Amino acid sequence: MNTSQTDNRLELLLFYLNGPQRFAINVLKIKEVIGCPPLTSLPESHPTVCGVANLRGQSLSVIDISRAIGMPSFYNPEKRQEQSVIIASFNRSVHGLLVNSIDRIAVKDWQDILPPPKNLSRSAYITGIASVDNEIVQILDVESILAQVVPANNIISLDEVAIPDEYNGKVLVVDDSSMARSQTAQTLDAINVRYEMAENGVEALKKLKELNLSERPDNEKIIMVLSDIEMPEMDGYSLTRAIRAEPELAELYVLLHTSLDGAINKEHAEKSGANAILSKFVAEDLADAVASGLSYCNYQSL
């Protein structure tokens, strides 16, 4: 599936699971959409895995998204040809996501994407909500869903990570996914890097101004921003541009950490003013990228 997006808009693939409610994921994460192929069950596999498909000679696990977010499963092997599988790239791997039917693609501005209500029963698996055709569409946090099936490896050898001996300040972690924040926190804890957390760009910018534009000790200020790209209200590109536009924040090191793959994201990251971009989620790579950023900050402060 080929499509283009500007860095302040996103295209959402809308689909149905078990009922009339529509859900969505970012089109940039989608490689293609196919009819549900024959699936071979795997003994002792995760309960949300319907089975494995053979896709052009490659094995592909197919995940029942409805069941993964706590809704009843609709998968029926006898009716599989009426259902679809979204082939999606997340965190450097490819997965099949079973959906009941595809609706269409909708284009939205990031600023129009809102965080899910805190009391939403599926909020752990919803990264944002959008209004489409005067109806609420829930945008799935596929990283959190996949973490159930394929847990990330957060084991890091401290001997292999060159964290500067002395650096004065904190890293601000910005991510709307609770799972991604947890994974990042585990990595930073393992390498003894101090950090603050924010759930989107709006909250991050507010925290940056509170911490860095006030009379606080230098060790309480932010020297590096580690931000997701896809976030409601203010995405990572917009946050980076806002940082660069603020004279007293403009020199902060910004590392964009994203589940999106592809050269277009690197191009947008460079245009927005980010220092670096990294694909999620390999703990060792993240630790190395943070170490490089902190070393840069140390060099700049000399």
- Is residue 4 pLDDT above 50, yes or no? no
| The pLDDT value given to residue 161 | 66
Place of tokens 């003894």: 192
Give me the chain's average pLDDT, please.
86
Q: What is the Cα–Cα distance from 258 to 286, expressed in whole angstroms?
A: 11
HEC profile of 48-117: CEEEEEEECCEEEEEEEHHHHCCCCCCCCHHHHHHCEEEEEEECCEEEEEEECEEEEEEEEEHHHCECCC
pTM: 0.78
* Residues forming a β-bridge with 14: 24
Residue 74 preceded by cis peptide, ω within 30: no
Sequence spans of domains, the chain: 9-149, 158-301
Closest CA to 95 of 160, 162, 148, 159: 148
The pLDDT-based confidence of 121 (bands split at 50, 70, 90) is low
| The pLDDT value given to residue 10 | 84
Amino acid at 225: V
**Which class for 260: exposed (0-12), middle (13-18), buried (19 or more C-beta within 10 A)?**
buried
Closest CA to 240 of 287, 192, 205: 205
Amino acid at 47: P
| Cα diameter, the chain | 67
| The pLDDT value given to residue 177 | 84
> Is 57 strand, coil or helix?
coil
The CA–CA distances, whole Å, from 224 to 168, 182, 300 equal 11, 18, 12
Tell me which DSSP letter residue 40 carries. B
The encoded tokens of residue 172 equal 């601000």
- Is residue 62 pLDDT above 90, yes or no? yes
Mean per-residue pLDDT, 137-152: 81
φ/ψ bin of 19: left (φ > 0), alpha (ψ from -120 to 50), beta (otherwise): left
Q: Note the CATH number of domain 158-301.
A: 3.40.50.2300
Q: What is the Cα–Cα distance from 227 to 230, expressed in whole angstroms?
A: 9
Report whether 148 contacts 48 (CB < 8 A).
Answer: yes
| The pLDDT value given to residue 302 | 43
- CATH superfamily name and code, 9-149: CheA-289, Domain 4 (2.40.50.180)
